[in-house]
Amino acid sequence: MSIGLLERGQLALQSQRFSSLLRARLTTLYPGKACLELPVDENHEQQHGFVHGGVISYLADNTLTFAAGSILGDCVTSEFKLNYVRPAVGSSLLIAEAEVIASGKSQAVCRCEVYFVKDGQRRLCAAAQGTIRRIE
Amino acid sequence: MSIGLLERGQLALQSQRFSSLLRARLTTLYPGKACLELPVDENHEQQHGFVHGGVISYLADNTLTFAAGSILGDCVTSEFKLNYVRPAVGSSLLIAEAEVIASGKSQAVCRCEVYFVKDGQRRLCAAAQGTIRRIE
Amino acid sequence: MSIGLLERGQLALQSQRFSSLLRARLTTLYPGKACLELPVDENHEQQHGFVHGGVISYLADNTLTFAAGSILGDCVTSEFKLNYVRPAVGSSLLIAEAEVIASGKSQAVCRCEVYFVKDGQRRLCAAAQGTIRRIE
Amino acid sequence: MSIGLLERGQLALQSQRFSSLLRARLTTLYPGKACLELPVDENHEQQHGFVHGGVISYLADNTLTFAAGSILGDCVTSEFKLNYVRPAVGSSLLIAEAEVIASGKSQAVCRCEVYFVKDGQRRLCAAAQGTIRRIE
């Protein structure tokens, strides 16, 4: 009996100790798409009470990699670019969605949106684009 | 008696709870330049035993912001781009250096290099470039 | 009698001498969206017979700016990032579509896709993301 | 009798028809470094009388590729990011300098600065960072 793509992705995420430390969860994984969630509290803040950019960039980077990994297998991020569009404040949950927009044999270009949930609504806090490379 | 730029920066860093969680240290800060260090261990790894990209992107993002903040005062990152050039492996210390390459009244463009220290030598693991914006 | 948004955009494009030199056309402009087209021939090639990256980056940059300008008015690009995903070859037309994904009073974050048309079909050749700033 | 690296680079540049159209010149090429110059006039402007961003992005992209090509051989740009830091105005010459900051067998990460010359002085107008890939 084989396990599915989502379960394999969740095992990969669990084997990332930094992701365990941050308590990231992989909630969706199918070919070309991934969704990660991250519960946030005051430990994730910077000095203005916003979620620290480093938390958001971690989440964007990782979600880009899982989206690509759904097609390419074992992967690492080669490069990415992130625009912060709004401070994530007053939220206890970040949600990141990524998708592959082009892929070849050895790498994929992906995009990701990061949202914070507040008062029951998602609001965009960051958008990313990057290149993910298959590990030989 | 006033405190210097480095001390003010260190207080700002301490007031970032996520930076305290990661135990980042600001070691250098003068107008246009900043250096941050981050001790790393197995809690910062991903599944291949490399330092997780999210740790490196946190450090690059934050060092960019401190470099700009040395000129602009209180700041946030608007956007940045990061290239991972080599896996950080077998290291217990990351060092990031950033400098302002152009600045105006409200924002600065900065570059950053992230190194890992191994066998007493620094090796480049990532390079970043981004825009930092003064908070009104 | 007033002229519409598309007409104003076309006049702005005409007043860009470099865009006239390259014969770019603005075909769509409504709040948050822009589409530019560029006829290409051998004068736009690099040494492998592909459309030169510089032509594609020009088109991405300009389309990002028109998308933002549809909301913000007179604008310039602050920064952008571009991934080339496939060589544009055997085509006589590039089409770029951009949209605003977040906007404030003074700037907008936009994304753009650049396609080449070949055998009656569009194929993605590049994807961009950037920040566009209103001119005071 | 063999020709040197600079001469080979100049031949490659000449074989880019778009670069000939723009009259770009390769003035320096040695392992890991490249310098391109571009004479500019009113045909390169946008509507505010600044050199069009597309001209600057062309020059940055191409200079990044020549810097990488000095090490890797025949190359294309995979992706790059560009910050415009100051409008290029009142100038008849752009100068771009690029260098390799990390390279492997198949790709290199490079940085580039683009200057405009005015009143006998260079002023930075843009800074770029990107990934250049060897063509098989």
> For A106, which residue in chain D has the nearest alpha carbon?
D106
Burial class of residue D85 in the structure, from the number of CB atoms within 10 Å of its CB (0-12 exposed, 13-18 middle, 19+ buried) = buried
- Tell whether A129 lies on the interface with B, counting CB pairs under 8 A: no
**Digitized pLDDT (tens) for each residue of chain B, 136 residues in all:** 567 999 999 999 999 999 999 999 999 999 999 999 999 999 998 888 899 999 999 999 999 999 999 999 999 999 999 999 999 999 999 999 999 999 999 999 999 999 999 999 999 999 999 999 999 7
pLDDT for D136 equals 79
Closest-CA residue to B104 (of D50, D122, D124, D85): D85
Spatial distance between the Cα atoms of B77 and B129, rounded to a whole number of angstroms? 11
Q: How far is C3 from chain A (nearest CA, A)?
A: 32
Contacts of D124 in chain B (CB under 8 A): 101-102
Spatial distance between the Cα atoms of D9 and A111, rounded to a whole number of angstroms? 35
- Tell whether A79 lies on the interface with C, counting CB pairs under 8 A: no
Per-residue confidence at A64, pLDDT binned at 50, 70, 90?
A: very high
Instruction: Say yes or no to pLDDT of D2 above 70.
Output: no
pLDDT for D3 equals 78
Query: Which helix (H) or strand (E) segment is D75 a member of?
Result: strand D75-84
Spatial distance between the Cα atoms of B40 and B93, rounded to a whole number of angstroms? 6
pLDDT for B47 equals 86
Mean pLDDT of the D37-62 span: 94
pLDDT for B2 equals 64
Closest-CA residue to D59 (of D131, D133, D134, D126): D126
pLDDT in tens, C1-49: 567 999 999 999 999 999 999 999 999 999 999 999 999 999 998 888 8
Spatial distance between the Cα atoms of D75 and D106, rounded to a whole number of angstroms? 9
- Tell whether D7 lies on the interface with A, counting CB pairs under 8 A: no
Tokens of D2: 């063999």
Q: Residue C13: helix, strand or coil by DSSP?
A: helix
Cβ contact D124–B111 (<8 Å): no
Mean pLDDT of the A109-133 span: 97
Spatial distance between the Cα atoms of B100 and B71, rounded to a whole number of angstroms? 9
What type of residue is D27? T
Per-residue confidence at A47, pLDDT binned at 50, 70, 90?
A: confident
Query: Which helix (H) or strand (E) segment is C42 a member of?
Result: none
Residue D28 phi/psi, 5° resolution? -140, 135
- Tell whether C57 lies on the interface with B, counting CB pairs under 8 A: no
Q: DSSP string of B103-129?
A: E-SSEEEEEEEEEEEETTEEEEEEEEE
Spatial distance between the Cα atoms of B10 and B24, rounded to a whole number of angstroms? 10
- Tell whether D18 lies on the interface with C, counting CB pairs under 8 A: yes
> For D84, which residue in chain B has the nearest alpha carbon?
B109
Instruction: Say yes or no to pLDDT of A3 above 90.
Output: no
Indicate the residue of A83, A85, A101 with minimum beta-carbon distance to C127.
A101
Q: Which of A43-47, B92-96, C26-30, D12-16 has the lowest mean pLDDT?
A: A43-47
Residue with tokens 């730029």: B5
DSSP code for D105? S
DSSP E strands in chain A: the ranges are 25-30, 33-39, 75-84, 93-103, 107-118, 121-134
**HEC secondary structure over B23-83:** CCEEEEEECCEEEEEEECCHHHECCCCCECHHHHHHHHHHHHHHHHHHHHCCEEEEEEEEE
Closest-CA residue to C14 (of C3, C123, B75): C3
Tokens of A99: 């998708």
Q: Are D59 and D94 in contact (CB under 8 A)?
A: yes
Q: Residue A60: helix, strand or coil by DSSP?
A: helix
Q: Are B81 and B129 in contact (CB under 8 A)?
A: yes
DSSP E strands in C1-106: the ranges are 25-30, 33-39, 75-84, 93-103
Residue with tokens 């700037």: C107
Mean pLDDT of chain C: 95
DSSP code for C32? T
Q: Residue C122: helix, strand or coil by DSSP?
A: strand
- B93: β partners: B39
Cβ contact D47–C15 (<8 Å): yes
Please report the ipTM that was assigned to this predicted complex. Answer: 0.94
Spatial distance between the Cα atoms of D48 and C65, rounded to a whole number of angstroms? 14
Q: How far is B109 from chain D (nearest CA, A)?
A: 7
Between CA C30 and CA C38, with CA C36 as vertex, the angle to 5 degrees is 165
- Beta-sheet pairing, A25-30 with B33-39: unpaired
Chains B and C form CB pairs within 8 A to the count of: 9
For chain C, list the domains and their CATH numbers: 5-110+119-134 (3.10.129.10)
Q: How far is A71 from chain D (nearest CA, A)?
A: 20
- A117: β partners: A122
> For D103, which residue in chain B has the nearest alpha carbon?
B85
Q: Residue C135: helix, strand or coil by DSSP?
A: coil
Chains A and C form CB pairs within 8 A to the count of: 43
Residue C129 phi/psi, 5° resolution? -150, 135
pLDDT for C37 equals 98
Spatial distance between the Cα atoms of A87 and A60, rounded to a whole number of angstroms? 15
Closest-CA residue to D77 (of A60, C25, B71, C85): C85
Q: How far is D29 from chain A (nearest CA, A)?
A: 26
DSSP code for B90? S
Spatial distance between the Cα atoms of A128 and A79, rounded to a whole number of angstroms? 10
**Other Cβ atoms within 10 Å of D95 Cβ, number:** 21
Query: Which helix (H) or strand (E) segment is A92 a member of?
Result: none
Instruction: Say yes or no to pLDDT of C122 above 90.
Output: yes
pLDDT for D107 equals 97
Contacts of B87 in chain A (CB under 8 A): 76
Spatial CB neighbours of A7, under 8 Å, sequence gap ≥ 6: none
**With pLDDT > 90 as the criterion, what percentage of chain D qualifies?**
93
**Other Cβ atoms within 10 Å of D64 Cβ, number:** 31
Closest-CA residue to C95 (of C71, C65, C125, C135): C125
- A133: β partners: A76, A107
pLDDT for C2 equals 63
